[in-house]
């Protein structure tokens, strides 16, 4: 079972405002053996010991025009974590009247090779969901989920969206604004597929330019 802790980082530049929660922590369930704690167990899909934290340094979004065309990827990246150097945040350029097939990835690029934290989100799909908000002049644009929990893991209840795959629709009247991306973790609160959790793994706002 993964448990997540998060810290909030706020950065304001001329082009981008970012609030990012950069810590993705995992811990094994507590040992309840009457003979005392057992030796740590190794798992093929878990290289981290109990209580160790997994740092999210990078959030990357790829948009591909649904009608065809070259994909574009933009990133939030903070390789030294909270409290160090300011993060690097790409701007986003999209075209009015265009639909995009989107995907999101979270990484720990402090590791070599980079650790794909998205795989853990997939494994715990019932406890995670990406939320997308279009803000300011970009608010006429909309995001539609293109995946669900059972796409990634065995589903035990309602098959809610996860948001690793999505569609971004940019109408003709969309203007410059912002795209906010939030990864919620559902530990205490139940996931209903609509509402965010109070637990946030990462929260980034990208500045968007709309071209015609």
The predicted structure's pLDDT at residue 84:
85
Tokens 């981290």 belong to: 48
Residues of the chain with pLDDT under 50: 1-53
Q: Which tokens go with 161?
A: 């969206």
Query: pLDDT, tens digit, for every residue of 39-86?
Result: 433 434 444 333 344 689 999 999 999 999 999 999 999 998 778 899
What are the sequence ranges of the domains in the chain?
A: 8-28+44-211
The predicted structure's pLDDT at residue 54:
61
Q: Which tokens go with 98?
A: 């265009």
- Taking the whole predicted model, whether its pTM rises above 0.85 is answered as no
Say if residues 149 and 155 touch (Cβ distance below 8 Å).
yes
Region of 149 on the Ramachandran plot (φ > 0 left; ψ -120 to 50 alpha; else beta): alpha
SS3 198: coil
Neighbours of 197 (CB within 10 A): 22
The predicted structure's pLDDT at residue 33:
41
Neighbours of 132 (CB within 10 A): 19
Query: How many Å separate Cα 157 from the centre of its chain?
Result: 22
Structural Rg of the chain based on CA atoms: 18
* ω into 113 cis (within 30 of 0): yes
The predicted structure's pLDDT at residue 37:
43
CA distance 67 to 87: 33
């Amino acid at each position: 079972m993964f448990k997540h802790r998060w810290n909030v980082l706020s950065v304001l530049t001329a082009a981008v405002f970012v609030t990012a929660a950069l810590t993705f922590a995992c811990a094994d369930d507590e040992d309840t053996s009457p003979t005392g704690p057992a030796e740590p167990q190794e798992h093929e899909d878990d290289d981290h010991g109990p209580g160790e934290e997994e740092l999210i340094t990078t959030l990357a979004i790829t948009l591909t025009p649904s009608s065809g065309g070259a994909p574009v990827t933009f990133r939030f990246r903070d390789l030294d974590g909270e409290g160090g150097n300011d993060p690097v945040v790409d701007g986003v350029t999209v075209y009015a009247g265009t639909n995009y097939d989107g995907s999101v990835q979270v990484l720990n690029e402090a590791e070599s090779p980079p650790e794909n934290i998205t795989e853990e989100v997939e494994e715990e799909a019932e406890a995670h969901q990406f939320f997308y908000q279009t803000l300011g002049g970009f608010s006429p644009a909309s995001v539609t989920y293109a995946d669900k929990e059972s796409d990634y893991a065995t589903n035990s209840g309602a098959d809610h969206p996860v948001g690793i795959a999505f569609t971004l629709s940019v109408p003709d009247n969309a203007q410059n604004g912002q795209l906010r991306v939030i990864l919620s973790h559902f530990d205490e609160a139940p996931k209903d597929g609509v509402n965010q959790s109070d637990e946030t793994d990462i929260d980034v706002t990208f500045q968007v330019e709309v071209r015609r």
